[in-house]
Amino acid sequence: MSEENIATQWDPVGYDQNARFVSDLGEPVLQLLNPKSGETVLDLGCGDGELTLKLIDAGCHVIAVDSSPAMVESSLAKGINARVMDGQHLEFEGVFDAVFSNAALHWMTQPREVIAGVRRALKPTGRFVAEMGGQGNVVSVLAALTKARQRRGLAPVNPWYFPSVEEYRQLLEEAGFQVPVIQLIPRPTALPGELRGWLETFAGSFLNTASAECEEMIAEIAEELAPTLRDDSGKWTVDYVRLRFMGCNSFDLR
């Protein structure tokens, strides 16, 4: 098995066409954050910054980070204070009232490092409010992707981390957070177009994209999933499951 680069390559144009729903569906986690004017907020995994703009509109002072230089460029073009940073190695100390994250934490497969960095970044009274893929997220697509690789003798890959409520609560509590809210929310999500666009945007690490097999794999996966995920009018709906939570700092100040 040759070495493969499984890092996802983000393309803001493709993201805008195939994944605009990601920020459009961010309202519930924004409500849970309940941002107040004047608060200092870190947007962790800001993507192209569409949701970050809502934090700014709410009067927050926002720093946005993302590991993708292309996505950070896109945020900077919108006037956002954005920088390239790996969420698993956050470089802030005690500066934020809140750390916010939507649809990004499932790309960070070292959750202990993420949570420790978030806790360090927060003020003693700070909160961590986020939504990510949870246990069972896109399970049918993941199974089809995995089988398509197996049929070709390709090694298994999985760039996604979809924890259960129990697992993530434990990680948060071990890091010192109190967890007043944590829930798993099934959210079947209609795609704006074909499954192909979703696969190209989100599943590049599975698809051996540099090879001629990529097209063949996409066709095979779409054929396998059409009976369950595509309706009679041709509309695709993917089996998303969200994990939404709030962790509150509980520093011992004695």
Binding residue for ligand BEZ (CB under 6 A) from 63, 99, 122, 138? 138
* Residues numbered 55-94 forming contacts with ligand BEZ, rule: CB under 6 A: none
Q: Ramachandran region of residue 129, left (φ > 0), alpha (ψ -120 to 50) or beta? A: beta
Q: Closest distance between ligand BEZ and the C-beta of residue 100, in Å?
A: 15
Site size toward ligand BEZ (CB under 6 A) is 8
Least separation in angstroms between CB 84 and ligand BEZ? 21
Cβ closest to ligand BEZ, residue 10 vs residue 160: 160
Contact 160, 133 (CB under 8 A): yes
Residue 140 or residue 249: which is nearer to ligand BEZ going by CB? 140
Q: Between residue 94 and residue 123, which ones bind ligand BEZ under the rule CB under 6 A?
A: 103, 106
DSSP string, the chain: -----------HHHHHHH-HHHHHTTHHHHHHH---TT-EEEEET-TTSHHHHHHHHTT-EEEEEES-HHHHHHHHHTT--EEE--GGG----S-EEEEEEES-GGG-S-HHHHHHHHHHHEEEEEEEEEEEE-TTTTHHHHHHHHHHHHHTTPPP--------HHHHHHHHHHTTEEEEEEEEEE--EE-SS-HHHHHHHH-GGGTTTTSTHHHHHHHHHHHHHHHHHB-TTS-BEE--EEEEEEEEE-----
Stretch that binds ligand BEZ, among 49-57, 122-130, 131-139, 145-153 (CB under 6 A): 131-139
Q: Mark residues 222-251: x for contact with ligand BEZ by CB under 6 A, - for none.
A: ------------------x-----------
**Taking each helix axis from N to C terminus, what angle separates 139-151 and 213-229, rounded to the nearest 10 degrees?**
140
Q: Which of residues 149-168 bind ligand BEZ (CB under 6 A)?
A: 160
Name the residue nearer to ligand BEZ (CB basis): 119 or 137: 137
Q: Write down the least CB distance from residue 137 to ligand BEZ, Å.
A: 5
Nearer to ligand BEZ, 106 or 149 (CB): 106
Nearer to ligand BEZ, 68 or 137 (CB): 137
Indicate whether 137 belongs to the interface with ligand BEZ (CB under 6 A): yes
Residue with smaller CB distance to ligand BEZ, 95 or 139: 139
Residues of this chain that bind ligand BEZ (CB under 6 A) = 103, 106, 133, 137-138, 160, 202, 240
